[in-house]
Amino acid sequence: MHPILIEIGRLKIYSYGFMLALSFWIGILIAAKRAGRRGIKQDHVYDMSIILILAAVIGSRALYILTHRSDYHRLLDIIALWQGGATFYGGFALALAGAIIYIRRKKLPFFLVADVCAPSIALGMFFTRIGCFMSGCCFGHPTGLPIGVVFPPHSPAGYYCPGVPVHPTQLYDGFLGLIIAGILLLIERKSPFTGFTFGLLCILYGADRFAVDSLRYYDASSRIDGGMAVSQLTSLCLVAAGVVILTVLWARKRSAMRTGG
């Protein structure tokens, strides 16, 4: 584990902050290139990315702190995002709200833009979860499997599970995000309608997180009456939203085909 990637004197580049920045940079470049192919000006992607970055960072950090309140006692701890600690769903929700506002103001087709950005979102999960692993946050339950990882005591995982191998749920979620990105890029070649790629992303990532979070460590404040994690309930809602999106858009396409539209 390497929470600090580079240290030169007082200059410190934290692994999580670096991977988060890398995920945004690569994701924006990919989305901009895809936008040009779909008839959307690349400038729209670059302009919207500023809103999405701010919203994603604030939303993901805020939700993580709300669900891990016992870990944060000082203002510095709250704003130290570079040290790790963020929740995808918080960032996704606030970024989606920001994107909707921007898209409506620019009068762009929402689902076309969402399709363009979907693979970038999945790929971003890969990079940010590598950052989580290097920081020792977002870890799993203790395990006796060979894949278990013992984190150093100064990390969040090492603090809660000192000297005990735990599931590297960061890597599980990260590599599943990479697989999802690949699936989206392959399947969209035969996409039956606009919005299909985004709807599929919601279903696949919701299922991914629900499964991975069954192995992830959460304290009592992050669980519903000590049972299911809040993120798992959110995952089920995301899957349901994806199903609704695909069902409604497919029905619209069939209706348009019948009426010759």
pLDDT, tens digit (0-9, with 9 covering 90-100), for 142-189? 999 999 999 999 888 998 999 999 999 999 999 999 999 999 999 998
Residue 122 inside a domain? The answer is yes
Number of structural domains in the chain: 1
pLDDT of residue 8: 80
pLDDT of residue 71: 64
Residue 10 inside a domain? The answer is yes
206-216 mean pLDDT: 95
**Which pTM does this prediction carry?**
0.87
The model's confidence at residue 257, banded by pLDDT at 50, 70 and 90, is confident
Residue 183 inside a domain? The answer is yes
The Cα 237–Cα 226 span in angstroms is: 19
Q: Which residues contact 5 (CB under 8 A, 6 or more apart)?
A: 13, 14, 15, 18, 134
118-142 mean pLDDT: 93
Residue 194 inside a domain? The answer is no
The Cα 63–Cα 84 span in angstroms is: 13
The Cα 133–Cα 2 span in angstroms is: 9
pLDDT of residue 84: 56
Range of the domain at 91: 4-187
The amino acid at 207 = A
Identify whether the C-beta of residue 77 lies closer than 8 Å to the C-beta of residue 137: no
Residue 192 inside a domain? The answer is no
b or e along 4-32 (b: 16 or more beta carbons within 10 Å of the residue's beta carbon)? eeeeeeeeeebbbbbbbbebbeebbebbb
Angle at 242 between CA 174 and CA 127, to 5 degrees: 15
Residue 223 inside a domain? The answer is no
Distances in Å between the alpha carbon of 11 and those of 2, 6, 80, 81, 83?
15, 8, 15, 16, 14
Task: Indicate the helix (H) or strand (E) that contains 75.
Answer: helix 75-79
Phi, psi of 194 (to 5 degrees): -65, 135
Residue 53 inside a domain? The answer is yes
pLDDT, tens digit (0-9, with 9 covering 90-100), for 44-95? 999 999 998 888 888 877 777 776 666 666 555 656 655 555 677 788 888 8
Residue 255 inside a domain? The answer is no
